[in-house]
């Protein structure tokens, strides 16, 4: 990769990530400036695309904002920020109507085709899940992408992977640390592009691939969290990793989620002998919040020695199942499982990060001109455990909120007059030992699953810390010695995120929500605050 191949470009808005948050932000941003959206695979590839359940919002007369707020707060184990919850929940109906205006067709009730068919999921007191069959994320993204491609001032770059954010501090300007753009790898042409932007919006999703078993696609490697942290952004509540209770267990299946909506329609979790068990753990049984269900499954699997538990929806008719869950039904059939007549084998898998880059209700971070939205952000909505289907709601609302503020910067602030420095490869050479990348990737994911998973202990966390310290040193040396590739970028990022998760998990001396440590099995009100980490240390009682 020689200097003659380097490229330089400028834009008003640089948006990193093509999930629902990124595309929604791009649509709004295109009304006030030029937009460059980059994504490291195709535009359709993201966690959002695989969201089956739907979007939680109050859309019926029997439901109330107060009930949705209460459900969210209870699920979040007292760490949700109530003002944030209220604002996002009350913004839900407008966000849904905006999607319908774009052309998204949500499922209607079989008995009344003019009314939305509202589903129910774990932790919800009412039916409030707006969905498009059981492929909601895909249907929403498909329409949003169509609308995005109609905008003449939007440029979409597929197979472009962000390497690092460019800050004023890094380029030698000592004023308030400001994000000026990013270095981006053009994967297919093996070129690093320098992008200068007035505003940078991270919408890069989560980091499920940090774990061995995950419902996430391969792109979920925590790039945004890692880049933001390296640039000096505050990271918040990263100990709270949500493990979805029901990922399909089959040796040929890869990361296929069995939606919580299946339990919302009456499916029951059972052991191999057919006995149900969730009533022992929570009054809501199989519809308990995800942290409780995932831990219960983990405990039962360890107690019995079984490789999985089972989901039983055979009480519903075949016609109902095929109509309500056509994609899940078809996918299960590929593996010889007829969910209308038999049980679905399931196990928990890493699913969603409730923590992320600390932001306010407008996506602002502690770095000037850097905004975040979607799973990469930690707004205070989810607290210690996310209520089902609140993620797409947050993505839609926050993407609009971000642009409300960011457009003022684009309209009024003048970008720095100086050009940003080109990417410098130094003495890096092409690597002939790529096996090191795959080996380190595999090792990180395995010890994160074994030591920093659903149930943790001080001993396991310390063991994980020793391993990541060694691997981080190896990876950093490799990163600077060899020409970067997308695989190397992703490895560096999952190592950074893994190190952060371990630090956060060691820091919180209690069990709360998704963070369960057998050495501190109870919640402690002295820890009733956010964990905030910046430049290698935790901030005491700090608020953004």
Can you read off the two tokens belonging to residue 299?
Answer: 């405990």
Contact 330, 338 (CB under 8 A): no
Helix axes 223-231, 486-507, angle to 10 degrees: 70
CATH code given to domain 9-158+177-198+354-412: 3.50.50.60
Encode the chain (544 residues) as per-residue pLDDT tens digits: 234 445 899 999 999 999 999 999 999 999 999 999 999 999 998 888 888 889 999 999 999 999 999 999 999 999 999 999 999 999 999 999 999 999 999 999 988 888 999 999 989 999 999 999 999 999 999 999 999 999 999 999 999 999 999 999 998 877 789 999 999 999 999 999 999 999 999 999 999 999 999 999 999 999 999 999 999 999 999 999 999 999 999 989 888 999 999 999 999 999 999 999 999 999 999 999 889 999 999 999 989 999 999 999 999 999 999 999 999 999 999 999 999 999 999 999 999 999 999 999 999 999 999 999 999 999 999 999 999 999 999 999 999 999 999 999 999 988 777 889 999 887 778 876 778 889 999 999 999 999 999 999 999 999 999 999 999 999 998 898 889 999 999 999 999 999 999 999 999 999 999 999 999 999 999 999 999 999 999 997 554 4
SS (H, E, C) 468-530: HHHHHHHHHHHHHHECCCHHHHHHHHHHHHHHHHHHHHHHCCCCECCECECCECCCCHHHCCC
For the chain, the helix, strand and coil percentages under 3-state DSSP, each to the nearest 5: 40, 20, 40
Which residue in the list 147, 234, 263, 290 is annotated as catalytic?
A: 290
Q: Is 151 a catalytic residue?
A: no
Cα separation, 308 vs 310, in Å, equals: 7
Tokens 């039904």 found at: 329
CATH architecture of 243-351: Alpha-Beta Complex (3.90)
CATH of 435-528 among 2.40.50.140, 2.10.69.10, 1.20.58.100, 3.40.640.10: 1.20.58.100
Domain locations in the chain as residue ranges? 9-158+177-198+354-412, 243-351, 435-528
The torsion angles phi and psi of 39, rounded to 5 degrees, stand at -145, 140
Distance, CA of 531 to chain centre:
18
At residue 269, the 3 state secondary structure works out as: strand
What is the value of pTM for the model shown? 0.94
At residue 139, the 3 state secondary structure works out as: helix
Q: Check if 9-158+177-198+354-412 and 435-528 are the same fold.
A: no
């Amino acid at each position: 990769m020689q200097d003659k191949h380097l490229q330089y470009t400028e834009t008003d808005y640089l948006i990193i990530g093509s999930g629902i948050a990124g595309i929604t932000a791009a649509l709004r941003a295109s009304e006030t400036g030029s937009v460059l959206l980059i994504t490291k695979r195709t535009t359709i590839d993201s966690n959002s695309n695989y969201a089956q359940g739907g979007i939680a919002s109050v859309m019926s007369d029997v439901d109330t904002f107060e009930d949705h707020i209460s459900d969210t707060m209870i699920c979040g184990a007292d760490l949700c920020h109530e003002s944030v919850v209220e604002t996002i929940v009350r913004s839900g109906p407008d966000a849904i109507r905006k999607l319908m205006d774009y052309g998204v067709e949500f499922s209607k009730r079989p008995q009344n085709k003019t009314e939305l068919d509202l589903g129910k999921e774990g932790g919800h007191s009412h039916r409030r899940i707006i969905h498009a069959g059981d492929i909601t994320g895909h249907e929403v993204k498909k329409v949003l992408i169509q609308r995005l491609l109609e905008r003449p001032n939007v440029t979409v770059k597929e197979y472009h992977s962000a390497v690092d954010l460019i800050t004023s501090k890094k380029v030698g300007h000592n004023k308030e640390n400001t994000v000026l753009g990013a270095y981006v790898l053009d994967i297919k042409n093996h070129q690093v592009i320098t992008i200068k932007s007035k505003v940078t919006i991270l919408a890069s999703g989560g980091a499920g691939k940090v774990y061995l078993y995950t419902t996430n696609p391969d792109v979920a490697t925590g790039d945004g969290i890692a880049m933001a942290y390296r640039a000096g952004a505050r990271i918040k509540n990263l100990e709270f990793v949500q493990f979805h209770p029901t990922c399909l267990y089959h040796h040929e299946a890869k990361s296929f989620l069995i939606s919580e909506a299946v339990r919302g329609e009456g499916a029951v979790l059972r052991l191999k002998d057919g006995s149900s068990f969730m009533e022992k753990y929570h009054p809501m049984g199989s519809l308990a919040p995800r942290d409780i269900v995932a831990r219960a499954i983990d405990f039962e699997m360890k107690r019995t020695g079984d490789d999985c538990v089972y989901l039983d929806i055979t009480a519903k008719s075949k016609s109902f199942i095929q109509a309500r869950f056509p994609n899940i039904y078809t996918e299960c059939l590929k593996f010889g499982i007829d969910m209308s007549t038999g049980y679905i084998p399931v196990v928990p898998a890493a699913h969603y990060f409730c923590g992320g880059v600390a932001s306010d209700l407008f996506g602002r971070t502690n770095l000037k001109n850097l905004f975040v939205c979607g799973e990469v952000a930690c707004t205070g909505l989810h607290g210690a455990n996310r209520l089902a289907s609140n993620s797409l709601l947050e993505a839609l609302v926050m993407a609009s909120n971000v642009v409300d503020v960011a457009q003022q910067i684009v309209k009024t602030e003048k970008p720095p007059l100086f050009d940003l420095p080109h990417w410098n490869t130094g003495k890096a050479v092409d690597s002939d030992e790529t096996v090191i990348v795959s080996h380190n990737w595999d090792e990180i994911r395995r010890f994160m699953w074994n030591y920093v998973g659903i149930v943790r202990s001080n001993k396991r966390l310390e063991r994980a810390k020793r391993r990541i310290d060694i691997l981080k040193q190896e990876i950093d040396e490799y990163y600077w010695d060899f020409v970067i590739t997308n695989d190397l970028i992703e490895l560096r990022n999952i190592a950074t995120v893994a190190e952060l998760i371990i630090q956060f998990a060691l820091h919180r001396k209690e069990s709360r929500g998704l963070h369960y440590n057998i050495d501190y099995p109870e919640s402690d009100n002295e820890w009733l605050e956010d964990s905030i980490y910046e430049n290698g240390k935790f901030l005491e009682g700090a608020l953004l």
